[in-house]
Every structure is written in C-alpha cells, then in structure tokens.
Amino acid sequence: MDVGGTFTDLMLIDGEAGAVHLDKAPSTPGRADAVLSGIRRVAGEAGIEPGDIDIFVHGFTVGTNAFLTRGGARVAMAVTAGMRDVMEIGDQMRPYLYRLSQSKPAPVVPRSRMVEVHERRDAFGKVATPLTCDETGRVAEALAALEPDSVAVCLGFSFLDDSHETVLERAIARVLPGVPVYLSSRVNPQIEEYPRANTTAVAAYVGPVIDRYVSTLDQALAGDGVSAPLRLMRSDGGVATPRSARDNPAAMMLSGPAGGVIAGAAMVEDLDVSDLVTFDMGGTSADFSVIAGGEPRMVTERRIDGQPLRLPSLDIETISAGGGSIAGVDLGGALRVGPRSAGAEPGPACYGRGGADATVTDAAVVLGVLHPGEFLGGEIPLDADLAREAVARHVAGPLGLSPEDAALGIVRVANAGMIQAIRKLSVERGLDIRDFALLAFGGAGPIYAPFMARDLDMTEVLVPLNPGVYAAQGLLMSDIRHTAQTAFQRRFSKVGEAELTERLTAMRDELDRALERDGIAPADRRFRFLADMRCTGQFHELPVPLPNIGEAGWWRADAVAESFHAHHDRTYGHTDPDAPVEFVNLRVEAFGATAKAALPSFDGKAAGAPTPFAVRPVCLDAGEGYRETPVHRRTDLLPGHALEGPAIVVQRDATTVVLAGQSATVTGGGVIRVKVAA
C-alpha cells in the first residue's frame, strides 16, 4: 500500500491463486482510515480474510508532511559549548544567489531549545575538555526542563569517538524515561557540523510522529485481524521493520516515491532497457528518478525545504505538478500551473465536491482525454460541465482563448515544469536524455509522458500493466535494507589493507546482527561496500564501490583508484588520473531477501490492431482540434497488439495517451511501448 497526497494505492498479490487485485481510494490525510478500509476492500475482492495476508509493505509520507508543514515533535538539543547557533547560522547555501533580500528556512530546533555541553574533542577525537558527571547531570536536567517530546544530541567530532554522546544518552534516559534520544554518532557519523546536526535534529523532529503513526497502525491492523509482519519503505529503496524505522526515522523521510523506482529497476531486466527515467505523476506531485546502466542512482545527501538531510536515498526529484495542480493567470498575464494543489479534498472542479479552481485534471476532461464515466472505473464520476466552466473562468476568459486552447496551454505549462525536472536529473548529471526511455506511471503519468518524451526527443515511453498502483507494486519487490557509515579521512596513498578490513568488517558484523534480529536467514543476507572519495582539495565526494572484503587480495589500490576516476569522469565530464585521491567515509549496505509472490503470467497473444470499444472526439493538438479518436480498454490489449496514434487506452487506475505520429505495441509482460517519432 502506497499512501499519497491524493490517492492511496493498493496491490494484493495472491501467489496461491495466481491473481493480482488492485484498488485505489481517496487518501485520508493524517489518518489510517484509507489503509484499513482499503485492506478490507481488496481482501474482500480477493475472497480472503485480512488474517490470510502473509506480509504487508507500506509506503507513506507522514514524516515528510510533518517536516514540510512544521507539524513535528517538540525537540530539545544538546550541542558542544559554543555551537548553540549552529542551526541558525547554517551554511552559505542560498536558494536565490543574487536576490538581495531572502530568508533562510527556520530550523526545526530553535536556539531557545539548545543546551550547551561543556566538553570538547579535537579534530583527532582526543579529549580536550572532559565531560564530567556533574556536567552530564546538569545538561540532562536542563533538557528535561524544556519538556521535550524527543532529544537530539550532536557533540563535536563525535563521529570519531561517540563515548561522550552515549554517556549523555544514559543520563537523559534517567531523567526523561520513555523520551527517544537521537545521537548524531548513530544517525549521521560524518564530518561537517551543520549537516550532521540538522540531520540528527530532523530525525528527532519526525521520529515521534512516525512512531505514533506506526504504533497506531500496528494496533489498528491487529484489531482488523491483520497479523502479517509490517514492513515500511525507506528512502534508499529498501524496507525496514518498525523497530528499525524507529531507530533512525530520518531514513523514512523520502520513502514515498521509492517504490516506483524499485519496480522500474525490475523492468530494466525484463525489457532489456538499461537506461530509464521514471516518471510518477499523481494528484499532488510528480516524482522523477534515473536508472542508468540498469542501476537506480543514489545520493548520500540532499536538501529538503532548503535544509540538508545526509542519508543515502534514491536520487529522486519531486515537483508540485499533479492532476490537482491549480492553473491560473498571474498579474502579468502569464499562465501559471501549481504549486498549489486542490488535493483530495475538495479536489479538481470536475470532482463535484466544491472545488472551483481549474486544475490539470479539469484540462484533461475538457480535452476529452478523461471521460466522465471512466475515471477510476466510474467510481468517481466526473462533471465535464464543471471542468469546462472552471477552465473558462480562470484561464480561457482572462487570456481571451477558447476553453480547448486554454486546456492545451495548461498541459503545455505543466509539462514544461516536469521537463525541466527531467533535465535536472539527466543533463545536469552528464547523461544524454536522448538515449533514455521514459517509464510513466501514477494515475496521471501515462497521459502526459508522450508529450514530454516527444519534446525531449527520448526513445520511447513505457507504460506498465498497472500504472496507477505501480509504486505499490514496487513495495512488494523490495528487500529489507540497513546501512552503516563511519568517517575515514585518509590519503589514498596511506590507506592500509588491514585497517580498511577492520573498519569494514566491524560495520558488516553490526549490520549482520541487525538482519538476524529481523529474522533473515544467513543465506538470504548480502552486503555491499563503498567508500566516499574525492580528489584532495575537492569539497564534494563521490561514493565508489569497493570489492567484497575477506577474499585474498581483495584490496587492489590501483583498481579502486581507476574506478573513482571513471566515476568522476561520468559525473563531471572530466578527471585527472594523476590527481591525489583521499577517502572521506566508509559505507556498508546490508540486504535481507524477503519472500515475494510472483506476478501472474500474461495469458493470450494477438497480432495487428485491436478493435476499440469506443470512438470519441479528443483534442491533442491545437492545429487539429478535436479529432475522432479510438478508445481501447487495457484489459482487451494482448501481447502483440499494435496501436497507431492518436489513441486512448483506459483502465481503472490510469489513462494512457498515444499521440498522432506515435505507435505502440504490447509486450509479453503487458507493458505498452510507445515509440516516439523522430
């Protein structure tokens, strides 16, 4: 189950019956109502009881929403004396470089809730000012006086030696029993004070919110008879147990869009397409990611609402562009789409629930792409008159256009913003987008992807069998995942195999114990080793894979250096093989394979063009206007079928568009491959 801002998507795979059951219901923000009612509905459709479910994988945006809306916990934070202003000062990064007047985002822990600790370590981890028992007690009492929901601790150079943080943690636990404490040496043991402090503060800020949601959900599921293990999606594409999620809740911050990327990585193997851009467009936002060379791209740091969050995550770009994005004309007479959204309540004007603004979905109704009786299988009937009225009042009238031209304009402006997001992920990272296919999913993605792929000169558009719930499908393909990291600042020439083996082995053993606690059998555990490296004097580092430790002669310095320079060349377009290189951090990733139900095979085979079930006027081009367009049911399309554009394909969870000049074929797995004309 994937809970989005507008809809909650469900996929139940019945491995015994060889069947897949889908559902899509309006989300209930801040409540688990949609989760429980969705399980009851989809289980009833499958003819099973909720207690028959073997595993439940859940993706949600509770932590992200709490951070963005400033609805997180009341946090108190302990820092080394002299660092009380670290969150206020931040860094020199500014969203608008040349704007003379701009504000920094407010930190999640204000200065008034920071407590200074009289202790200090130097840059080598040696004690410069010891942490005394009296000081430990004073700090614990000062933190307790602030009546926090959670406590964050970030002491100087604790990533080299965490003993001061752990001593303070024990003292806090005595005066604040039951209050969670988050240590920077566990959340983000890495150099650079502000990013480390902010990441730890964010973990403390969203931790109680996520814990409360998971605990409530656990109880509600048990009350409904669901006894299956609960797995929660992580930002890095793995899943976590509830205990692991509580240990480092910041790892769940960007988990919402991750499921679709994992499903896309599986499609790479099935279709022999190594380079993809994944495009997930729902009702509120659009999410993009890149799969290059068959592997999803990862980042070790990103900014969310202008603040650094340093944890491994999939490289996902999110913008406010969805079916509910509101369109209007600004004071200068320019058409704008988003970032405001009509959301699930009241929703677009065509929902007939009180929404009056023109949205992207309303534009699709005006153009005939969405039919009032076919949306969500007819469960939510659309009002075409309300859609046309909203577009006419808010866009067509002020611009002096016909409703059709205004609706096409809304689509073009929305697409322009999404195209820029794709360029940011590809061109700005040294990738030639013309070599990539566009994997479109979400309820709205397959509508707009053919327009975007054509404008970007991409090779093709791929539409999976169940695009509207594809992210939920990806959740069922994910393995349990844990990560560990440690600071390791060494010149490459001074790295010794023995020390490197010792540090990596210690982290691997720690993660091995975590997988054991999760109930993963030894044969189902695997590990990956990486090092953050950079040229000496550089500010940014790159994660470089290392060979598996333990094998004779595993450490080959020349091979690792060559791998770094090749990665540097791919990322930045240049490298200097003679430049000295240094290590910054060591990382270990642990994977625990989980049982997965196989998707049923696609029965039937056909050739030629299928017979449409309807023909209706659809406007996809301003020059042609409305054109009689064949409409096909997705369930009627079999492997081997071919379509010539323009054409519309409808199903309960999504609608797919094939433009004039484009052609589409159906693969053996039921994927629609839309070839984009040059």
Nearest in space to 418 (alpha carbons), one of 463, 450, 375: 450
Nearest in space to 189 (alpha carbons), one of 588, 512, 471: 588
Nearest in space to 408 (alpha carbons), one of 468, 458, 368: 368
* Fold matches, 71-204 and 480-592: no
Residues 6+ apart with CB under 8 A from 214: 230, 232, 242, 245, 246
Angle at which helices 403-425 and 384-391 pack, to 10 degrees?
Answer: 80
Structure tokens at 464: 């999976």
CATH architecture assignment, domain 2-67+210-252:
2-Layer Sandwich (3.30)
The ranges assigned to domains in the chain are: 2-67+210-252, 71-204, 480-592
Give this prediction's pTM.
0.85
Residues of the chain with pLDDT under 70: 5-6, 29-31, 344, 377-378, 677-678
As a CATH number, domain 480-592 is 3.30.1490
The reported pLDDT for the residue numbered 559 is 84
The reported pLDDT for the residue numbered 678 is 60
Integer Cα distance of 139 and 107 in angstroms = 21
Integer Cα distance of 599 and 118 in angstroms = 58
The reported pLDDT for the residue numbered 398 is 94
The reported pLDDT for the residue numbered 415 is 94
Bridge-based pairing of strands 460-463 and 437-441 is parallel
Nearest in space to 678 (alpha carbons), one of 460, 462, 438: 460
The reported pLDDT for the residue numbered 360 is 94
Q: Which residue has the tokens 């050739």?
A: 607
Residue pLDDT, tens place only, 177-226: 999 999 999 999 998 899 999 999 999 999 999 898 888 888 888 888 88
Contact 441, 468 (CB under 8 A): yes
As a CATH number, domain 71-204 is 3.40.50
Nearest in space to 446 (alpha carbons), one of 279, 232, 236, 200: 279
